[in-house]
Amino acid sequence: MIVRRILLNGATFTALFLPFGSISAQSPVPSPGRWLMTGDFYGSRRYMPLELSGTADKLTGTAFGMTLSGSVRNGHLTLAGTNTSGDTAAVDATVGQDKLTGTIKQTSPRDAPVEFSFTAEPVPPLPTAKPQRHEFTPTVFYRQFSPFNAPVLRINPSDTVHTTTVDAGGNDEQGRKRVAGGNPETGPFYVNGAMPGDTLAVHIVRLRLNRDWAGSDDAIVESGLNSAMAVRMKGTGDSVRWRLDREHNVAYSESAGEHLKQFAVPMRPMLGCIATATGPGGAPPGTGDSGFFGGNMDFNGMTEGTTVYLPVSNPGALLYVGDGHAAMGDGEITGNALETSMDVEFSVDLIQHKRYSGIRLEDADSIMTMGLYGSLDDAFKEATSVMAEWLASDYKLTPSEIAQVLGTVAEYRVNEVADRNSGIVLRLPKAQLAAISKPPK
Amino acid sequence: MIVRRILLNGATFTALFLPFGSISAQSPVPSPGRWLMTGDFYGSRRYMPLELSGTADKLTGTAFGMTLSGSVRNGHLTLAGTNTSGDTAAVDATVGQDKLTGTIKQTSPRDAPVEFSFTAEPVPPLPTAKPQRHEFTPTVFYRQFSPFNAPVLRINPSDTVHTTTVDAGGNDEQGRKRVAGGNPETGPFYVNGAMPGDTLAVHIVRLRLNRDWAGSDDAIVESGLNSAMAVRMKGTGDSVRWRLDREHNVAYSESAGEHLKQFAVPMRPMLGCIATATGPGGAPPGTGDSGFFGGNMDFNGMTEGTTVYLPVSNPGALLYVGDGHAAMGDGEITGNALETSMDVEFSVDLIQHKRYSGIRLEDADSIMTMGLYGSLDDAFKEATSVMAEWLASDYKLTPSEIAQVLGTVAEYRVNEVADRNSGIVLRLPKAQLAAISKPPK
Amino acid sequence: MIVRRILLNGATFTALFLPFGSISAQSPVPSPGRWLMTGDFYGSRRYMPLELSGTADKLTGTAFGMTLSGSVRNGHLTLAGTNTSGDTAAVDATVGQDKLTGTIKQTSPRDAPVEFSFTAEPVPPLPTAKPQRHEFTPTVFYRQFSPFNAPVLRINPSDTVHTTTVDAGGNDEQGRKRVAGGNPETGPFYVNGAMPGDTLAVHIVRLRLNRDWAGSDDAIVESGLNSAMAVRMKGTGDSVRWRLDREHNVAYSESAGEHLKQFAVPMRPMLGCIATATGPGGAPPGTGDSGFFGGNMDFNGMTEGTTVYLPVSNPGALLYVGDGHAAMGDGEITGNALETSMDVEFSVDLIQHKRYSGIRLEDADSIMTMGLYGSLDDAFKEATSVMAEWLASDYKLTPSEIAQVLGTVAEYRVNEVADRNSGIVLRLPKAQLAAISKPPK
Amino acid sequence: MIVRRILLNGATFTALFLPFGSISAQSPVPSPGRWLMTGDFYGSRRYMPLELSGTADKLTGTAFGMTLSGSVRNGHLTLAGTNTSGDTAAVDATVGQDKLTGTIKQTSPRDAPVEFSFTAEPVPPLPTAKPQRHEFTPTVFYRQFSPFNAPVLRINPSDTVHTTTVDAGGNDEQGRKRVAGGNPETGPFYVNGAMPGDTLAVHIVRLRLNRDWAGSDDAIVESGLNSAMAVRMKGTGDSVRWRLDREHNVAYSESAGEHLKQFAVPMRPMLGCIATATGPGGAPPGTGDSGFFGGNMDFNGMTEGTTVYLPVSNPGALLYVGDGHAAMGDGEITGNALETSMDVEFSVDLIQHKRYSGIRLEDADSIMTMGLYGSLDDAFKEATSVMAEWLASDYKLTPSEIAQVLGTVAEYRVNEVADRNSGIVLRLPKAQLAAISKPPK
C-alpha cells in the first residue's frame, strides 16, 4: 500500500497558528502557514492557496505561482510580486480574526488586467481524532459531480463510511425509485482538512450486493459496432433483468431462452462511479461523465480492496460514490452492466500538497493508471503517460528504465467504451515492481 | 477444443474420382467433385474453386458464385451460367488426364467483359496417412508472407513439425546472423490438401527458448506517446540486451543500472508471427505486417497451447512462423519485445470449406478473436464483430444473446500497438461458454 | 434557402383553443391541440408533449410514443394506454383554467413502475406579430448552456436581434473584463412558441468586429501533436495579442519578430458558439463544450450569412451566442483563435414538430452537416450520416443515390480539434444539388 | 515555385571524377565525390551512399552516419571508423575501374556483428542535356510500387513525359482490359542521376480525359459508416457507370433514376497514384497502398498544375503514375471515384541530398502537406508536423511563429478514407506566406 494513514500531531499545527510577531488588540496579524483564498472572479468562485511566512513588517506570501512581499500595518495587509514572465499580482486586504478580506489585482504583459474581491481563512490543521466508522443512510442522490451540493456528512481522513448506493436508474435496495436515473450518487462527503491541491485516496473496504436483481439491456454501444456488427444488432435494445443469486454468487438473465438458460455470470461487485467534485469555476459534469475527477470510470477492477487516487478541487474534497454493478464485462459494451444497488464501505486518506498528472489506482496485486479520452488510442497514450509519471516520481526510474518496465510487464485492458470517454487501464504487477529499488519518499 | 483431427476415409475420395458416365479412349471426362481452376487473369494468378457434378451430357458446375450448365463432348467441356445480377460466365476447355485447359469469359451489365486462360486440376483427397512428427532445420528465411516462396516442407493435416525460428533481427540460436532483420520466417510449410476457401488451424504444441539472450530497446512507439510522454522519452532509443535465465525462467536487462538490477521479468515464450501466405493476386505483405492472414500479430497469448485459425488462400496454405519473444508486455510498446530465437513445435489441422470472418484463437481456457486495424477503436469493433459471428455461427446465439454474453464476461486486452495495425483481443472464458447449450455442428 | 419565415394565421390557432364539447361553469374541459406537460420526475424536470383530441366523453391523447384514451368528468381527466412492447401509461389530472395538475404512472414489463406529478399547459399559438428588430445590450454573461438561466429577452420567430458578445476571455468591446473566461455567452433568448421537439433556425445576419485587438496564443493543442511535433513545440504557450486592422480587414501579430512582421491574416469574423439550452433533466454543458445542442462548434464557416439548425429542448428554445473570432485557421489548432468581442445581428425561425438527427447548417452556396465526436474518425462518420439523413428526408434520395452524390461532390473539412469534441464539416454545393429533382416538402 | 530546374555545368562534374593523386596503370584509385555502395545484406539489397575525399594515402569516407579513415594501397581500399555510440564500421575493397568490390563489417556494443559483401560505383554527374519531351506508350502495367520492375523509360531531370494510364480496373482508353485491377501503374520511369537520399519533384503538366466513361460504385466505405449509416446502406454495392461529357466537362450517372437524371458532376481530372519505388530491403507495397513513397494518395487536388515531392529510395527513383479519376468527392468515400483512363503529361526535377520528413505538395496557390495514417486523427497530426518542419526549414520560422501561422490560415481537408491509410491535407495559401520574409536557401 502506498497510502499511509497520516495521523498528524495536533500540537505542531496549533503552534503554526500562533500569529506573527506580537499580538496587539487593535491590529490582528494573520498567522503563518497555509491559507485558502476564495475569490469572486468576475462571477466565478476561485480557490487560491496562499502560504504566509515572515513577520508583520516583512511578510512573504506564496501564491499564483510567484512569491509576494509586503507587510501588515494597522490591520491592513499588502503583498505584491512579479514573476519572470512579467505577470504581477497585488493583494490588498483587511485583516480580521483568522480572516482576510480584500482585493486581488493581476496584470500580465499581454492580457487585460483583472481585479476582484476575495476572502481568506487559514487552512485548519488535519484532524487528529481516532479514526471513526460512520453509518450513513442516504436520503438525497445527486446527478452531477458538483461542488455546489451540500455535504451529506463530514468525515476525517482515515475514517470509514458504511452506506448504500442506488442503481444507475435510481432504484434502491427495496427496488423503490428514489431519483431520476443516470448514475445518481451517494454523497458528497466532506473530508475535513482536504484542500485544493491535495489528493484524496479512496479505499473500497467492502462492497456487497443488497438485493436480488439487476437491470441491464441487450444492445451494443456505438463503440462496439463496425458496419457488420451494426447490421447484425439492428432491432436489439430491450431491457434485460438479471437475477442475482447471492448464495452462489452468480447472475442469470431472467429472459434467457434455451441457449442462455444455464449461462451463469460470476458476480464481482464494483462501483462504476467514484469522484471528487470539480472546481467551482466550471460546469459540473453529469454523473455519466468521467475525467481527471474520476467519475463514471466503469472499471470492473473497482472492487473491494481497490484504492483510487483523486484530485481535491474544493475544500473538503466532496466525494461521491455510485453506479454499482453486480458484474460487468470489459468495456461495459451493452451500455448498462448488471446495474444494482449496493452496500458500500469505504475509507479515505489524504495526501497533502500533491496532485498527480492523472488517475492512479492500486489493489493488493498491482498499481494501475487509467486513461480516459474520446478514443481508445488517446486513452492508451494517457494511461501510459500517467504511469510513466508515477514510475518517474515514486520509483525514480529514468525514461529508458520506464520503457523497459512497460515493454516487459505492462498489461493494458479496455475498461470502458460505453460513455463519452473510452478508457484504458494500464496495470503493473506489484510482484515485479517489488524488485525495483524504490527510494524512500 | 473445437478443432478435431479430420482423418478421412480415402476410399470415399477414390470413388469420387471415377469419371462421369462411360470412359472412352478418345475422350476423357473430368471426374465429379472439387476442382481448382488457376486462371491467368491479365497477368495475375487467380484461384477459382469449381464443383462438378452430373453426367457428360448434362454437366453442372458451381463456380464464381453461380451455377453453370453444359456438357463434355469430344474431349471438350463447355459450361455457362448467369446470376440474378445479370453477370454471366462461360467456361470452355479441353479435357485432359485430370486436367482442364481453356478459357473463361465473364460479363456483367456494367463492367467491361473479361476473358482469360486457365487450367484446372481435381483437388486431391485429404491425406489419410498416420500423423507424423517432422524434424525440420531451416536454411532459408523469408521476409514476406508470400505465395511465391517455394515450400520448405510438405506436411499432412494432423502432422507435427519441430523446428526453430531466428529472432526478429535474423539471428539464430547460436547468435549468428542468418538473414536481414524484420521478422524473418521459418517456412512456408505446404499442408497437403489445403485449398483456397479452407481454414487452417495452427496449434502451438511446444515453445521453448534455445539461447540465453534477447535483444530489445528502450524507446516507446508512437502509439504510446502523447505530448507529455513524447517530451519525456526524447533521446531514448538505444538497444537493450536481456539475459535469459532459463533455469529460473526470468529475464534481466543487461544494461540495468541501480534501479532495475533486481528487476526480473517472468518469461512466457510466444510467437509474434504465424501466417498463411496471402493470395497470388496481390502484393505479399512484409513480415512486419498483419491482417486477415495473421502475420505479425504480436499477441503475448500466442504461447504453448494456443491455436490460431487462419484462412487458406493458396493450395497448401503455405504456413509461416517466426518472431519469437521470450516475454512481452501488452502492446509491444517498446517496438521490440525480448526478441530471441525459438524452439518451436506446432501441428496443423484443416477445416474444409469454411472461412471465418476474421481471426479466431483459442487456448485451454478461452476462445478469442483479434481485431487488427489502423486504430485501437477500429480494432475493438473488429474483435467484437468477429466474436459475434463466432457466437452466432457456432453457438447459434441471437443478437440479443450475443450482447448479454459480451456485456457480462468479455475481456478486452490490447495485444499490439507497435506496428501499422493496432490489435485488440477479445477473450471469452470457456468456463462460461460451457453453460451455453451449443448445438451439434 | 430552406428556411422559410413561417407567418401563421392567428385565427386558425384561436379556433383550436375552443374547448371540447359544451362549456359548463363547474367543470372546465381542456382545449384540443398541443399541450406541454412538465413533470417532476423524481427530482428532475421533464417536458412531455401531449396532443389532445376528441370530446370530453371520448378523449384521445398522444404522448410517450403511444395513444391514450380516456375522458373528462367532473373536472377530472383520465387517460390510459399501452404500446406494443407492453409499456403502459396512465394520466390522472384535475382540469383547471388552461391547466392540468395531476400524476402520471408508467409501467414496463421489465423496469420498476414510476409515478410522478405533473402540470400541463396548452402550447400557445405561434406569434403573428410583424417581425421586429431588437436592440439588446447584454449585462450578464453565462458560462453554461443551461436551461436554468433566466431569459434576457423574449423574441418571436422571424425577429432579428442586434447585440454584442464579449470575447472568450470575458472582455467586452471596451476591453473591460465583464465575466470569467471560457466563452461567456450573450443570452439566453426566449423564442416565443418554440417547444421541445421543434427545431430552431438561427441565421447570422450581420457579424462585425467592434474593437481593434484580439487575444490568442502560440501553443498547438494535443490533437495536433505527434511526437515530433510535441518535442518541437516544447516551451511554447505564450499569449499572443493581435492588432485588428478593420480598415484593411487584416490582423497582425503584435509580438511578431522579423519573420511575421508583414504576415497579414485576412479577417473573416465568425461565432465560435451558437447553442440552444439542453434539456432540464441533465447536466448543463459548459460553454467550452459542443454536441447535439450546437455550442462551442468553432467552425470558421459560421460567418455572416450562415444558418445553423438546432434542436429545441426547452420552451422558448433559450438561445445563446458567443465566442467571436476575428479569424481562425481550420481546427482552431492553437486552442484560441483571434478571440475578440463582436457586434452580432441574428434572426431566428422555427421549424415545428421536427428534430433532425444532427447538426445541419447552410449558407448561400452550400448545405452542410457537422459531426462532433471524440475523434475525427467518429466525427467524419457522424457528419456523413447526418447528411445522408438530410438527403433522404428532404431530397428523397435512395441509399445508392446518396452514395453517388457524396462520392462525387462531398467536401470534408476539419472544423475543430481544440476542444473535447473534434469536428468535421461535410459540405455539398447547392449548385450541384439544384439539379436534383427535389420533391415539394 | 520552390522547385527550380537544376541545369548543372557538366565540366564541374567531369573534374570531380579525376582520380585522387597520380594515376598508375597497376593500381586504380577511386575518384573523390559521391559513390553508391550496394550491399548484399544477408539476402537483402541495401543502398549506402559514400562520400570520398582526401588522397590515396589519407582517404576519408563518409557513410553509415560516421566518418571513416583509411587508404588505397596496391588497388586495395580500407576504411574504418567509430561513432560516439561505439558503433564501428570497416570497409575493405578491391578497387576496379570506377568500381569497388569488397566487404563491410559493422559492430555495435549491443548487437551481433554483421559482415556482408558490396560493390560500389561512383554516382554519375547530373545529366546536362537540354530538357526533352518523351512520348511513351505503355505496354506493361505494374501492381506494386516495386524497385524490382524494369524501368520502361529513362529520362533526365527537367524532362517531360507524355503518356497514358489505364483506369483502376486495368481498362485503357479503348475500354480494353489490359491488366488485373487494383490501380495498375504506368512506369517505372528511371530518372537519370536520382540517388537514394534525394527528393524527386513530380509536376503534373497536363492531365486530360481520353475516353467517355468512368466506372464507380454506390457503396460507402467502412470509414464513412457509423451504425445508423451502416444500417441505411445495407444492400448497396453495385457498380455504377458514369458518362463523361468532355465537351461540357461534366459527368452523369448512367443508371440514374428520376432524382439524379440532371445531376451533373463537374469534372476535375486527377491522379490517384504517384509514387517512387520503395527501397529494395522491404516488401514492395501494392498499388492500393500509400505512405512515405506517395502511392495511392487519392487526393482530388492532385490535378494539372500540382507538384508532389517524393523521396528517392533507389537509383533512378523509379517513378509510377496511375489511377486517374475524372472527378472525386473528398475522401473517395464510395471506394471508387469516377475511375477512368487518362492522358498524362508530367515533368520531373531533382532535389539532391535532401529528404523531407513527409509528403509535400504545391500548386499555384498553396503549399500543402499530407498526413497518411491508420486514422484521421493520426493523419491530422502527421500533416501538421510535416508542415511545421517545412515552415521551420524553408521559412526559418520558430515554433511560436509556426503556431501563429497554422492557427490563423491553415486549411485542413480530408483527402482519403477509402483505403488502409486515411489522409488529411493541410494547405497554406501562398498569398499569406508571401508576406513571410523567407530567407534565401
Chain C: residue whose CA lies nearest to A240 = C110
Number of inter-chain CB pairs under 8 A, B vs D: 103
Contact A225 D222 (CB under 8 A): no
Residues of chain C in contact with residue D377, where contact means CB-CB under 8 angstroms, are 223, 375-377, 422
Q: Closest CB to D112: pick one of B114, B171, B289.
A: B171
Whether D218 and chain C come into contact, CB under 8 Å, resolves to yes
- Residues shown for chain B: 441
pLDDT per position as a tens digit, D147-195: 999 999 999 999 999 999 999 999 999 999 999 999 999 999 999 999 9
Give the three cell numbers for residue B93: 476447355
Q: Which residues of B236-273 are buried (b: 16+ CB within 10 A; e: fewer)?
A: beebbbbebeeeebbbbbebbeebbeebbbebbbbbbb
Tell me the C-alpha distance between B214 and C410, whole Å.
52
Specify the pLDDT at position B17.
Answer: 36
Whether D222 and chain A come into contact, CB under 8 Å, resolves to yes
Q: In chain D, what percentage of residues exceed pLDDT 90? A: 86
3-state secondary structure of B163: strand
Tell me the C-alpha distance between B23 and B5, whole Å.
36
CA distance, residue A262 to nearest chain B CA (Å): 5
* End-to-end CA separation in angstroms for chain C: 13
Specify the pLDDT at position C146.
Answer: 98
Amino acid at B110: R
Our CA angle for A34, A39, A42, nearest 5°, is 160
What are residue A198's phi and psi, to 5 degrees?
A: -90, 175
Tell me the C-alpha distance between D423 and D417, whole Å.
7
Task: Judge contact between B407 and B392, C-beta under 8 A.
Answer: no
Tell me the C-alpha distance between A2 and D155, whole Å.
69
Contact A374 C374 (CB under 8 A): yes
* End-to-end CA separation in angstroms for chain B: 13
Q: D207: Cβ–Cβ under 8 A, 6 or more apart, which residues?
A: D269, D270, D271, D303, D304, D324, D342, D343, D344, D345
Whether A176 and chain C come into contact, CB under 8 Å, resolves to yes
DSSP letters, D122-149, are EPPPPP-SPP-EEE------BSB--TTS
Average pLDDT estimate for A398-405: 97
Tell me the C-alpha distance between B208 and A327, whole Å.
38
Specify the pLDDT at position A127.
Answer: 87
Tell me the C-alpha distance between D145 and A67, whole Å.
63
Chain B: residue whose CA lies nearest to D113 = B177
3-state secondary structure of A310: strand
Chain C: residue whose CA lies nearest to D260 = C436
Question: What are the start-end ranges of the E strands in A282-318?
Answer: 290-291, 294-296, 307-311
Task: Judge contact between B316 and B190, C-beta under 8 A.
Answer: yes
3-state per-residue secondary structure call for chain C: CCCCCCCCCHHHHHHHCCCCCCCCCCCCCCCCEEEEEEEEECCEEEEEEEEEEECCCCEEEEECCEEEEEEEECCEEEEEEECCCCCEEEEEEEEECCEEEEEEEEECCCCCCEEEEEEEEECCCCCCCCCCEEECCCCCCECECCCCCCCCEEECCCCEEEEEECCCCCECCCCCECCCCCCCEEEEEEECCCCCCCEEEEEEEEEEECCCEEEEECCCCHHHCCHHHHHHHCCCCCEEEEEEECCCCEEEECCCCCCCCCCCEECCCEEEEEEECCCCCCCCCECCCEECCEEECCCCCCCCCCEEEEECCCCCCCEEEEEEECCCCCECCCCCCCECCEEEEEEEEEECCCCCCCEEEECCCEEEEEEEECCHHHHHHHHHHHHHHHHHHHCCCCHHHHHHHHHHHCEEEEEECCCCCEEEEEEEEHHHHCCCCCCCC
Task: Judge contact between B352 and B310, C-beta under 8 A.
Answer: no
Residue A412 pLDDT class (50, 70, 90 cuts): very high
Q: In chain A, what percentage of residues exceed pLDDT 70? A: 93
CA C107 → CA A178, C83, C104, C335, D345, distances in Å?
16, 11, 10, 48, 72
Best probe of the A interface among C105, C106, C114, by most A CBs < 10 A, is C114
Specify the pLDDT at position B9.
Answer: 34
Touching partners of C (3+ C-beta pairs < 8 Å): A, B, D
Q: How many CA atoms lie within 13 A of C127 on its CB side?
A: 18
CA A398 → CA A402, B233, B234, distances in Å?
6, 9, 11
Q: How many CA atoms lie within 13 A of B425 on its CB side?
A: 27
Best probe of the C interface among D250, D381, D397, D416, by most C CBs < 10 A, is D381
CA A17 → CA A13, A56, A119, C48, distances in Å?
7, 14, 18, 57
pLDDT per position as a tens digit, D390-400: 999 999 999 99
Best probe of the B interface among A233, A241, A372, A385, by most B CBs < 10 A, is A385
Whether C236 and chain D come into contact, CB under 8 Å, resolves to yes
Give the three cell numbers for residue A268: 464481482
Residue D288's closest CA among D269, D273, D271?
D273
What are residue D217's phi and psi, to 5 degrees?
A: -150, 180
Residue A185's closest CA among A167, A198, A201?
A167
pLDDT per position as a tens digit, A286-327: 999 999 999 999 999 999 999 999 999 999 999 999 999 999
State the helix-helix crossing angle for B399-409 and B376-394, rounded to 10 degrees: 120
Q: D217: Cβ–Cβ under 8 A, 6 or more apart, which residues?
A: C403, D237, D238, D239, D240, D334, D335, D336
Sign of torsion over alpha carbons A47, A53, A55, A60: negative
Contact A179 C420 (CB under 8 A): no
Residue D28 pLDDT class (50, 70, 90 cuts): confident
Touching partners of B (3+ C-beta pairs < 8 Å): A, C, D
Tell me the C-alpha distance between D375 and D354, whole Å.
28
pLDDT per position as a tens digit, A252-267: 999 888 899 999 999 9
Residues of chain C in contact with residue B379, where contact means CB-CB under 8 angstroms, are none
Q: Does residue D23 carry a pLDDT above 80?
A: no
Strands A185-191 and A153-155: parallel
Task: Judge contact between D266 and D282, C-beta under 8 A.
Answer: no
What are residue A222's phi and psi, to 5 degrees?
A: -50, -40
Question: What are the start-end ranges of the E strands in B254-383?
Answer: 265-266, 270-276, 290-291, 294-296, 307-311, 319-325, 342-351, 359-362, 366-373
CA D189 → CA C2, D125, D281, distances in Å?
53, 19, 20
Cα dihedral B285, B287, B288, B293, rounded to 10, equals 60
Specify the pLDDT at position A223.
Answer: 97
Residues of chain A in contact with residue C421, where contact means CB-CB under 8 angstroms, are 374
3-state secondary structure of A354: coil
Specify the pLDDT at position C111.
Answer: 72
Residue C368's closest CA among C409, C326, C422?
C409
pLDDT per position as a tens digit, A56-113: 999 999 999 999 999 999 999 999 999 988 899 999 999 999 999 999 999 987 677 8
Residue D284's closest CA among B421, B165, B314, B148?
B148
Residue A15 pLDDT class (50, 70, 90 cuts): very low
Per-residue pLDDT of chain C (441 residues; tens, 9 = 90+): 233 333 333 333 333 333 444 444 456 788 999 999 999 999 999 999 999 999 999 999 999 999 999 999 999 999 999 998 889 999 999 999 899 999 999 998 767 789 999 999 999 889 888 999 999 999 999 999 999 999 999 999 999 999 999 999 999 999 999 999 999 999 999 999 999 999 999 999 999 999 999 999 999 999 999 999 999 999 999 899 999 999 999 999 998 888 999 999 999 999 999 999 999 999 999 999 999 999 999 999 999 999 999 999 999 999 999 999 999 999 999 999 999 999 999 999 999 999 999 999 999 999 999 999 999 999 999 999 999 999 999 999 999 999 999 999 999 999 999 999 999 999 999 999 998 866 555
Per-residue pLDDT of chain B (441 residues; tens, 9 = 90+): 233 333 333 333 333 333 444 444 456 788 999 999 999 999 999 999 999 999 999 999 999 999 999 999 999 999 999 998 889 999 999 999 899 999 999 998 767 789 999 999 999 889 888 999 999 999 999 999 999 999 999 999 999 999 999 999 999 999 999 999 999 999 999 999 999 999 999 999 999 999 999 999 999 999 999 999 999 999 999 899 999 999 999 999 998 888 999 999 999 999 999 999 999 999 999 999 999 999 999 999 999 999 999 999 999 999 999 999 999 999 999 999 999 999 999 999 999 999 999 999 999 999 999 999 999 999 999 999 999 999 999 999 999 999 999 999 999 999 999 999 999 999 999 999 998 866 555
Q: Which residue has the cell 432491432?
A: A235
Burial of B176 (0-12, 13-18, 19+ CB in 10 A): exposed
